[in-house]
Amino acid sequence: MNETTRQHSDEPAYGNVAPLRNRGATCKYAGLADGEVHPVTRAWPAAADASLEELKKHFHQKGFCVISGALSQEDVLELRREAVRLAEHWVELGERAGGFDLEPRQRGFSLARTKGKLTPNDIQKLKELQCPAFRKIDAVPFSQSYLRLACNPLIVSFVRNLVGTPGYLFLSAIFPKVAGLAREKPWHQDASYWKNDWRPSQGIVQTMTVIDPHSPDNGGLLVIPGSHRKDRPHIFDGERKLRLDNEEIEKVRALHLSPGQVLVFHSKLLHASTANRSDRDRMVVYNAYCGAELEFIGKGDRPSLLQVWR
């Protein structure tokens, strides 16, 4: 632990969020590229003893909080086993759902981007790939374990306080962030993806369940506490992103989380993630929830969402 950092911190004593400030150096993660700031590990103690009220306060003030104790070690192992099973059967499953994205820089990437619109010839080629590195796997339609995670009583009881009743599963995906291959994700607010189709897009609350030890060394999430209060303009340059201003760069924090912990975050929280250049996977599962008042303003029929609570 970096005691100097802790003394200067004005953050509450939970959340496992490490500041990346290092006077005199540029922030390595501002542009997610250069600079020499090394994140400290565990600048604050774990969240296990935080009360529900403290967690809610942290969520509203900072745009996120961390829940511990929702999953057992066995639950986490089962989710990992299931992810491997789905990955191994990706050709059959992906053909049906189109819910599999590959990491770039590997054979088969361009084919996998066609998502569900595969010709028999493509499918033959994909079968030859066996088990490539995935960026995203849509698991709920195929796995009781992932459906159970989406309905986890502790997670749901917390999130329902934030989105109201009834509550729906807005999206769900495993992000395996495979060792040595997974690319970075630039700074963005997820609400910017949804604002043309759903209103109010901040009515969507997200969770990130940690399967593997999670830090910026292996592709972990970076956040800017308090950034959920502002809508930030994004540019589209191959993908949606934005450039941080100096004030935001000062506030970048890295999340150091353990398997079984759950990050709950606001859909306007500015976040990014590093490329995974380590030899350790960084698997997480994102589940997003919304309430009944979320209005569909996109084209066509309102997509049907799975109701999780009444």
Ligand X SMILES: O=C(O)CCC(=O)C(=O)O
**Residues at the contact surface with ligand X, assessed by CB under 6 A:** 175, 177, 185, 190, 219, 221, 271, 273, 284
Choose between 50 and 285: whose C-beta lies nearer to ligand X: 285
Minimal distance in Å, beta carbon 136 to ligand X? Answer: 7
CB atoms within 10 A of CB 209: 27
Pairing of strands 262-266, 185-188: unpaired
Minimal distance in Å, beta carbon 191 to ligand X? Answer: 11
Number of H helices, E strands in the chain: 10, 17
Choose between 50 and 289: whose C-beta lies nearer to ligand X: 289
Minimal distance in Å, beta carbon 158 to ligand X? Answer: 20
Please name the residue that has the structure tokens 């004030």: 247
Q: Which two three-digit tokens encode residue 86?
A: 């789905």
**Residue 150 near residue 172 (C-beta atoms within 8 A):** yes
Q: What are residue 20's phi and psi, to 5 degrees?
A: -105, 5
Choose between 160 and 253: whose C-beta lies nearer to ligand X: 253
Mapped onto helix, strand or coil, the DSSP state of residue 112 is: helix
Choose between 17 and 50: whose C-beta lies nearer to ligand X: 17
Residue 124: partners with Cβ closer than 8 Å, 6 or more residues away: none
Among 289, 202, 188, CA closest to 239:
188
CB atoms within 10 A of CB 274: 26
| Pairwise CA distance, residues 154 & 46, whole Å | 17
Choose between 50 and 255: whose C-beta lies nearer to ligand X: 255
Choose between 75 and 190: whose C-beta lies nearer to ligand X: 190
Residues paired with 260 in a beta bridge: none
**Residue 186 near residue 241 (C-beta atoms within 8 A):** yes
Minimal distance in Å, beta carbon 282 to ligand X? Answer: 8
CA atoms within 13 A of residue 156's CA, in its CB half-sphere: 16
Choose between 28 and 271: whose C-beta lies nearer to ligand X: 271
Minimal distance in Å, beta carbon 20 to ligand X? Answer: 16
Minimal distance in Å, beta carbon 3 to ligand X? Answer: 30
Minimal distance in Å, beta carbon 18 to ligand X? Answer: 17
